[in-house]
Amino acid sequence: MPANAILIDVRSSLEFNTGRLQGAISIPLDQISMTIANLVPDKASPIIVYCQSGMRSASAKNTLLRLGYSNVINGGGLFVLSQRLAIAINNN
């Protein structure tokens, strides 16, 4: 995982407010194509998208790639990604 990656939670605002990864930005999937350029203007920025299970984040990744973003990772579901990030932090 890139250390300077931008974490984007593509779940609904309600889901985001019930729990999220520290430092994550909320951009619900249905709004990502309209708002990403204002929040992440550099299309080479490393971006990690996640949701509840990985399905919406897969769609978000495809949308971002179509919009010209070149460094997008599907982080999958919140629980799995939080564990992966904890392991990465503990190994550093």
pTM above 0.85, yes or no: yes
1 within a domain of the structure (yes/no): no
The domain tally of the chain equals 1
Domain containing residue 81: 6-90
| Domain at 68, CATH number | 3.40.250.10
59 within a domain of the structure (yes/no): yes
More confident position, 79 or 29: 29
Length of the chain: 92
Tens digit of each residue's pLDDT (9 = 90 or more) over 5-26: 999 999 999 999 999 998 999 9
Tens digit of each residue's pLDDT (9 = 90 or more) over 34-83: 999 999 999 999 999 999 999 999 999 999 999 999 999 999 999 888 88
